[in-house]
Amino acid sequence: MVDRPPQRRTSLIIGGLVAAVVSLHYLGALEPIERLVIRALSPIGRWTTAVLSPQVPADATGSASQLAARDQRIAELSVENAQLRSALDAATAATEQTRFLTAQRLIGVTGSIITRSADPTTEFVTIDRGTATGIQVDAPAIVAGGLVVGRVIEATNDTAHVLLSTDNRSSFTGVSAKSPTAQGVVSGARGLSLTMQLIPQSESIAVGDLIVTAGSDAGVPRGLILGEVDRIERQAGALFQSASLRPLYQAARLNVVTILTKTP
């Protein structure tokens, strides 16, 4: 029998324990315990999100808050405008999520955000709905008016991780709401904005144009709003042009999102 020093023995025990926990997780044996921990802690997450990320500023005083309110109003008007363009029969400007879903014949599951990414380089949120409610990986996440905020990258029975559209790894096929042939790839830019690349140089695109989903990504219907063109970059002789987009949502203000579970 090998007589190991106590500290080495402790390290071996700890290492074995870590390996066992990780292995059991991937084998699914820890699921009941994990579900219990998630259920126990989710109310704290919902509460902190609701308190710390209100949709409407709680204390609207002073010029800074007036400016923020004006920005919010501009974003709401842009969303309303895009709805009228993208929806076939949307004669009225619906701002509520459920009305939008009905108008677009979409079915979705609404979930509360229970936590956000703590990693400095990752932009994602975790919601309290999972595969048990029909959520699938790659499904788009939207907020009021069909504004795309991200896509599901991972889902368990009770929770789902949504990668926000501003994350560098996020990618959607987008098209100008004004010019249906001006298509490109919309990606996140450092968690702050969006970029639309590979737009054919021959296509017309202008600052202020709304970019919507092209409908060519699996599970993502056409006409969901991705952002508004902020800046255009063209180079003489190049095949493609690119644009910088302004996302029409503020990640810090999100507390409820809808995941589309069925699209036409």
Q: Does 121 bind another protein (CB under 8 A)?
A: yes
d(CA 135, CA 241): 35
Instruction: In angstroms, give the least distance from the CB of 158 to another protein.
Output: 11
Range 177-206, binding another protein (CB under 8 A): 190-191
Give how many residues touch another protein by CB under 8 A: 43
d(CA 225, CA 76): 12
- Cβ nearer to another protein, comparing 168 with 197: 168
Q: Does 132 bind another protein (CB under 8 A)?
A: no
**Identified binder of another protein from the candidate list 9, 25, 85, 231, rule CB under 8 A:** 25
Mind spelling out the 3-state secondary structure of 99-163? HHHHHHCCEEEEEEEEEECCCCCCCEEEECCCHHHCCCCCCEEEECCCEEEEEEEEECCCCEEEE
Q: Does 21 bind another protein (CB under 8 A)?
A: yes
Q: Which residue has the tokens 């409610």?
A: 133
**Identified binder of another protein from the candidate list 3, 26, 56, 62, rule CB under 8 A:** 26
∠172-173-179 over CA atoms, to 5°? 135
DSSP helix/strand/coil, 173:
strand
- Cβ nearer to another protein, comparing 21 with 207: 21
Instruction: In angstroms, give the least distance from the CB of 18 to another protein.
Output: 5
Instruction: In angstroms, give the least distance from the CB of 40 to another protein.
Output: 10
DSSP helix/strand/coil, 41:
helix
**Identified binder of another protein from the candidate list 107, 153, 185, 232, rule CB under 8 A:** 153
Q: Does 120 bind another protein (CB under 8 A)?
A: yes
**Identified binder of another protein from the candidate list 112, 168, 179, 244, rule CB under 8 A:** 168
Q: Does 22 bind another protein (CB under 8 A)?
A: yes
Alpha helices in 4-96 (DSSP H): 6-27, 31-52, 62-86
Kind of pairing between the strands at 193-200 and 183-189: antiparallel
Dihedral angle over CA of 168, 116, 69, 150, nearest 10: 40
- Cβ nearer to another protein, comparing 39 with 105: 39
Q: Which sign does the torsion angle of CA 85, 257, 148, 224 carry?
A: negative
In the stretch 62-101, what mask flags binding to another protein with x, by CB under 8 A?
Answer: ----------------------------------------
Q: Which residue has the tokens 């989903």?
A: 213
Point out which residues bind another protein (CB under 8 A): 10-11, 14-15, 17-18, 21-22, 25-26, 34, 37-38, 41, 44-45, 48-49, 52-53, 114-124, 126, 137, 153-154, 161, 163, 167-169, 190-191, 252
